[in-house]
Structure 1
Amino acid sequence: MSMFTKVGAEAVAATNNDGGAKESPITSFKSGSTYKVGVKSIEDVAEYYGYSIYKKVNTFVPKNPATRNARGFIDANPTVWDQAADLLYADAKAAKEAGATEDAVKKITDEAYLYRGKQRFLRAFFDLTTGKDIVVDLSPKQEKTLKAVIEKYAKKLGSIAFELTKTGAGQNAVVALSPIIDMDEDLTDAERANFAKIGSAPFDLADFESCLYVADEEEQTKNLVVAGFDIARLGLSIGAAAPSNVAPTETDAPLDISPDDLPF
């Protein structure tokens, strides 16, 4: 059996056919980013719950995600990460009932919160520079900000372009979507030509599926080890723990925890 799938002429021909695969539209949206965009529809958005540990495990979505109710609370099929969080919250509750100090209890709940899935949003825009659809990853607050602007101009989306920006970092990051009032002055000829194409094809919602990293239960378990959780408490074992091979992203910054986040 050869290590190569194609050689010679077959290998040459292979680069002429991508097998129908589409390039993911996910786009880097770091602080300082600026895009001139069009909005095809206010409905070009997807909600997901991502799991990560800052500087240890990059954001992923479970292959078999938990079932959540309308408020986002899990009511069935918790992932191993959800189970880890529940164990730690139970530890915190037991510590509180045993008379532990508030600081001691908070230390446990803070750790538990790290393993919870965090609500995130993907929103699609039409990049006027490239003439292609792009997708940016947003926090709930950022999505609300952009949605409010899109709703305001909902009846004029076919005639108004926008500037999409991100400034600041971490929890101080701010996103903005500002209408471009003078499109003749502020858009190049190519950007105006691309804007004229905005209604030619709607965004394919199926493309959202290519924007996130999906982890099966085995990988989720390995990630728990990387994060420092004792998986034996879940009755799990993977042998020697492997080092993390993922790098943190800007969206993985630690989050503040309020009493509303706690399950007790």
Structure 2
Amino acid sequence: MSNFIIGEDAFNAPTEAGGGNDVEWSKLNSGMSYKVRVFKNYTQAAMKFRNYGIFKVVNSFSAKNPSTKNANGFAESNLTPWDAATKYYTDLMFKAMDEKNAADEKKYKQEAGKYREKERFGVAFVDLDTGTPVHFDISPKQWGVIRTALQKYAANLGSIPFEIAKTGSGKDTVLSFMPIMTQLEPLTDKQQANFDKFNDVEFDPSVFAGFMYEIDEAEQTKLLVQAGFNVKLIGLTAPTDEGEAPATNDPFATGGGPIEVDDESLPF
């Protein structure tokens, strides 16, 4: 099973609630905005992919040998090490639910979400300030906002600039993608020149393939240790590089405990 689909298939793909090289994606943090132009072949300027990663701890990556998914998109066989870590905490979460232990249920839910493979979307536009393409790594919900606007204004995309922005924080982060009313907010001469420069330029969807960083099980295991997970708990052996701290039987021993995970990242 491929980790990603590109172009019109990605544009039209369903956004079930459940990559790439972090260095390559354009930053779109909360409080940031871009004035952009939509590519002429805008349905080709999209990618749907799945990856793992923990913000500020482990850069995003995809499995070289992806797990087999069920109809709901969740791993059911041929589990990767990260899938196995997710299952470990999911099983503990369900046990806590059965025992009506709300505190442990919440803790294990957060931990399962850290290691779970997530569905993401990539989308490309032209940055009107620089005159170069920008590529954003966004959630399915955020992609839905963009796709709805593109479909709504499809007949006039060649003449309308847009502003893409993020506001809020955590699970309250909101992405907006709105047409710019140029009669009220005119483009600068530079922005207009960059807009016009791309009148007949089409996006090359093969560019997205370079964003995918795929690694094997051995590297995934190293990254689990880096993230603080005790891989002995899922039957694996921790790397023995010089200076590597030995694993213990405490799943929180080196990981610093649970982190906040927004609801969109969780399957439960």
Query: TM range, normalised to the smaller chain?
Result: 0.7 to 0.9
- 3-state SS of 1:142 partner: helix
Provide the TM-score with structure 1 as the length reference: 0.74
CA RMSD of aligned residues (A): 2.9
Give, in whole Å, the separation in 1 of the partners of 2:193 and 2:92: 60
How far residue 49 of structure 1 moved from its aligned partner, in angstroms, is: 2.2
Q: CA deviation at 1:207?
A: 1.3
Moved more, 230-239 or 146-155: 230-239
Aligned to 1:254: 261
1:152-174 alpha-carbon deviations (Å, 9 max, x no partner): 10111111111122222222222
Contact 2:162–2:177 under 8 Å retained in 1: yes
Cα displacement string for residues 44-69 of structure 1 (whole angstroms, at most 9, x for unaligned residues): 22122232234432332223333435
1:103 match: 103
Which string of whole-angstrom CA distances, capped at 9 and with x for unpartnered residues, describes residues 99-122 of structure 1?
Answer: 462333443333222211122211
Structure 1 match to 2:204: 204
Shift of 1:253: 6.2
Q: Is the 8 A contact 1:42 1:150 kept in 2?
A: no
For residue 77 of structure 1, what is the amino acid of its counterpart?
Answer: N
Contact 1:42 1:147 in 2 (8 A): no
Q: Does 1:119 align with 2:119?
A: yes
CA 1:191 to 1:183, structure 2 compared with 1: closer, same or farther past 3 Å?
farther
The 1:70/1:199 distance shift into structure 2, 3 A limit, reads: farther
1:79 pairs with 2:80: yes
Matched-pair contact (CA < 8 Å) for 1:85–1:115: yes
- Higher alpha-carbon deviation: 156-165 or 48-57: 48-57
Spell out, residue by residue over 1:9-29, the C-alpha distance to the aligned partner (whole angstroms, 9 max, x if none): xxxxxxxxxxxxxxx862111
C-alpha spacing 1:150/1:222, structure 2 compared with 1 (3 Å): same
**Which AA in structure 2 matches 1:254?**
V
Q: Is the 8 A contact 1:166 1:176 kept in 2?
A: yes
Distance 2:108 2:185 in 1: 56
Name the SS for the 2:163 alignment partner: strand
Task: Give the structure-2-normalised TM-score.
Answer: 0.73
Whether the 8 Å CA contact 1:42–1:151 is kept in 2: the answer is no
Which runs of no fewer than 5 residues in structure 1 stay unpaired?
A: 1-23, 244-251
Q: Structure 2: where are the runs of 5+ without partners?
A: 1-22, 246-258
The Cα of 1:134 is off from its aligned counterpart by 1.1
Task: Report the alpha carbon displacement of residue 231 of structure 1 after superposing the two structures with TM.
Answer: 1.1
Report the CA distance between 1:197 and its aligned residue.
3.1
User: Aligned pairs, how many?
Assistant: 229
Equivalence for 2:154:
154
- Corresponding residue for residue 46 of structure 2: 45
* SS state at 2:197 partner: coil
Contact 2:51-2:62 at 8 Å conserved across structures: yes
Q: Distance in 1 between matches of 2:109 and 2:76?
A: 20
Q: Answer yes or no: is 1:192 the counterpart of 2:192.
A: yes
Taking only the aligned residue pairs, the percentage that are identical comes to 39
The letter of the residue matching 1:195 is: F
Aligned pairs (5 A) from 1:10-29: 26-29=25-28
Distance 2:93 2:37 in 1: 48
The aligned amino acid for 2:36 is V
